[in-house]
A and B are shown apart, each in its own frame.
Chain A
Amino acid sequence: MTFSIVARCARTGALGVAVSTAVPAVGAMCVYLRTGVGAVSTQSWVNPYLALDALDLLDQGVSAEQALARVLKDDAAADLRQLGIVDRNGQSACWSGSQCTGWAGQRSGTSCTIQGNMLTGAGTLDAMLAAYEASGELALEERLMRALEAGQAAGGDKRGRQSAALKVVRNEAYAHLDLRVDEHHEPVAELRRVFEVAQRQFVPFVEGMPTRDDPGRAPPAVVTELLLTPPQSRPGATEPLNADMRVLGRWLGVEFAPQRVAHNLATYAPILAEISKLRELDLSEVHPVVVFDPARAYAEPSTKGEA
Chain B
Amino acid sequence: MNDDLTAIAAAIASGEVSPADVMDALLTRIAALDPQVLAYECLNPAARAEAEQCTEELKRGVRRGPLHGVPIAIKDNYLTAGMPTTAGSLAPGYAFANEDAAAVARLRAAGAVVIGKTRTHEFAWGTETPPTRNPWDPSRIPGGSSGGSGAALAARMAYGALGSDTGGSIRIPASLCGVVGLKPTFGRVSRAGIVPHSWSLDHAGPLTLSVRDAALLLNVLAGHDTRDPGSADVPVPDYTASLDGGIAGMRIGVCRNHFFGANEAEVEAQVERAIAALAALGAQVSDFEVPNLQYGLGAIFAIELASSSAYHDRGLQRGATAAMADDVRTLVEIGRMVSASDYLKAEQLRACLIDDFKAVFERVDVVVTPASPVTAWRRGQATVVTGGMEESPLAASWRLTYPFNLTGLPALSLPCGFDSRGLPIGLQIAGKPFDEATILRVAASYESVHRWNAVRSPIAMSVQP
A-chain residues with CB within 8 Å of residue B294 when the two chains form the complex: 277
Contact B336 A276 (CB under 8 A): no
Contact B344 A288 (CB under 8 A): yes
Does A224 have its Cβ within 8 Å of any Cβ on chain B?
no
Contact A281 B345 (CB under 8 A): yes
Interface residues in B, total, Cβ within 8 A:
34
Contact A287 B345 (CB under 8 A): no
A-chain residues with CB within 8 Å of residue B313 when the two chains form the complex: 253
- Among B295, B330, B345, the residue within 8 A (CB) of A264 is B330
B329's nearest neighbour on chain A, judged by CB, is A260
Give per-residue flags for B321-357: 1 if the beta carbon is below 8 A from chain A beta carbons, else 0: 0100000011101101110001011111111101000
Within the complex, the shortest CB–CB distance from B200 to chain A, in Å, comes to 7
Expressed in whole angstroms, the Cα–Cα distance for A276 and B338 within the complex equals: 11
Contact A275 B352 (CB under 8 A): no
A-chain residues with CB within 8 Å of residue B331 when the two chains form the complex: 267
Expressed in whole angstroms, the Cα–Cα distance for A100 and B345 within the complex equals: 53
Does A307 have its Cβ within 8 Å of any Cβ on chain B?
no
- Among A254, A268, A278, the residue within 8 A (CB) of B346 is A278
Contact B301 A287 (CB under 8 A): no
Contact B345 A283 (CB under 8 A): yes
Beta-carbon contacts under 8 Å, A272-302 to B: 272, 274-279, 281, 283, 286-290, 300
Within the complex, the shortest CB–CB distance from A292 to chain B, in Å, comes to 12
Instruction: Show the binding face of B for A, using Cβ within 8 Å.
Output: 200, 226, 294-295, 297-299, 301-302, 305, 309, 313, 316-317, 322, 329-331, 333-334, 336-338, 342, 344-352, 354
Expressed in whole angstroms, the Cα–Cα distance for A267 and B305 within the complex equals: 12
Expressed in whole angstroms, the Cα–Cα distance for A300 and B229 within the complex equals: 10
Residue pairs across A and B with Cβ atoms less than 8 A apart, 13 shown, are A253-B316, A256-B333, A271-B298, A274-B297, A275-B298, A275-B342, A277-B294, A278-B295, A278-B342, A279-B342, A283-B349, A286-B352, A288-B350
Interface residues in A, total, Cβ within 8 A:
26
Contact B347 A289 (CB under 8 A): yes
- Among A276, A289, A290, the residue within 8 A (CB) of B298 is A276
Does A257 have its Cβ within 8 Å of any Cβ on chain B?
yes
- Among B301, B345, B352, the residue within 8 A (CB) of A274 is B301
Expressed in whole angstroms, the Cα–Cα distance for A287 and B298 within the complex equals: 18
Contact B345 A268 (CB under 8 A): no
Expressed in whole angstroms, the Cα–Cα distance for A278 and B292 within the complex equals: 10
B-chain residues with CB within 8 Å of residue A263 when the two chains form the complex: 330
Known: A253-B316, A289-B354. 5 other contacts (CB 8 A): A264-B330, A264-B333, A267-B334, A271-B305, A274-B301
Contact B333 A271 (CB under 8 A): no
The 6 closest A-B pairs by CB, nearest first: A288-B347, A274-B298, A254-B336, A283-B348, A275-B298, A286-B348
Does A228 have its Cβ within 8 Å of any Cβ on chain B?
no
Contact B333 A275 (CB under 8 A): no
B301's nearest neighbour on chain A, judged by CB, is A271
A254-B333 contact given A277-B298, A278-B299, CB 8 Å threshold: yes
A248's nearest neighbour on chain B, judged by CB, is B337
- Among B295, B302, B336, the residue within 8 A (CB) of A281 is B295
Contact A257 B322 (CB under 8 A): yes
A288's nearest neighbour on chain B, judged by CB, is B347
